[in-house]
Amino acid sequence: MCGRYTLAKPLKAIESHFGPLHTKLEYRPSYNIAPSQMSPVVIEHSGQRKLGTMKWGLVPPWAKDEKKKFINARSETAHEKSSFKNSLKSQRCLIPADGFLEWQGTEKQPCYIFLRDQALFAFAGLWSTWNSPEGKNLHTYTILTTEANQKLSPIHARMPVILPPEQYKTWLAPDSDFAAVRNFLTTFPSEEFDFHPVSKEVNSPKNNHPEILQNI
């Protein structure tokens, strides 16, 4: 699963990596993104790639209230689930990140996981719009997960689906071949990752500063 992640790179770096983008958001780096927070998401709309914010925790359109939310979706079964299958067909998104956190062992030691070159990357995500009884539109997203690779499996059995840049265009396009995008939902190679233990300060999303990610 994925219950926390980071996005601390400058906005210009995000725009360069995922662009060209139409950007409409107030951006601040975050070292401890938690469920229910508003965070940057890349979607394609009317043939244009857009960077905006959505709430982490997908609320299906049929939900009676916004308490019914999913921060993760299993990639192996998302096409079968009523909460995700329509989004998987036509409402896919990229979730910019530069690291994520998992908790290891009975002591729940938090570990910060990142690409070895500390580069930006993208989680494969799904998004949806929920209409409240008061007529409010809430845009939400979830992170797709898969089996952990060999390096990360001692920390957790699952990991987010990470897409290489050459797959971004096909993943975002609403009319892409469904079988093709499902084939993207694989485990990212072990050799690309590094990780280290960090302070248990990260357990509280109120703690959001660079020092919480330092190697202990």
Q: What's the CA gap between 202 and 6, in Å, rounded? A: 11
pLDDT given at position 134: 82
pLDDT given at position 199: 96
pLDDT given at position 50: 96
**pLDDT by residue (tens digit) across 70-109?**
999 999 999 999 999 999 999 999 999 999 999 998 999 9
Indicate the number of domains in the chain: 1
Q: Tokens representing 47?
A: 């043939």
pLDDT given at position 176: 96
Parallel/antiparallel/unpaired status of strands 72-74 and 137-147:
parallel
pLDDT given at position 144: 98
pLDDT given at position 136: 86
With 0.85 as the threshold, say if the pTM is over it.
Answer: yes
List, in sequence order, every residue forming a beta bridge with 56; answer none if it has no partner. Answer: 141
| Angle, vertex CA 159, rays to CA 127 and CA 39, nearest 5 | 40
pLDDT along the chain (216 residues), means of 10: 94 95 91 97 94 97 92 97 96 98 94 96 98 89 97 95 98 95 96 96 96 96
The CATH code of the domain that includes 179 is 3.90.1680.10
Give the residue numbers marked as catalytic.
2, 102
Q: Which of 55, 56, 51 is nearest to 25 (CA)?
A: 51
Residue 132: which domain range? 4-213
Give the contacts of 100 (CB within 8 A, at least 6 positions apart).
2, 4, 5, 6, 112, 113, 114, 160
pLDDT given at position 24: 79
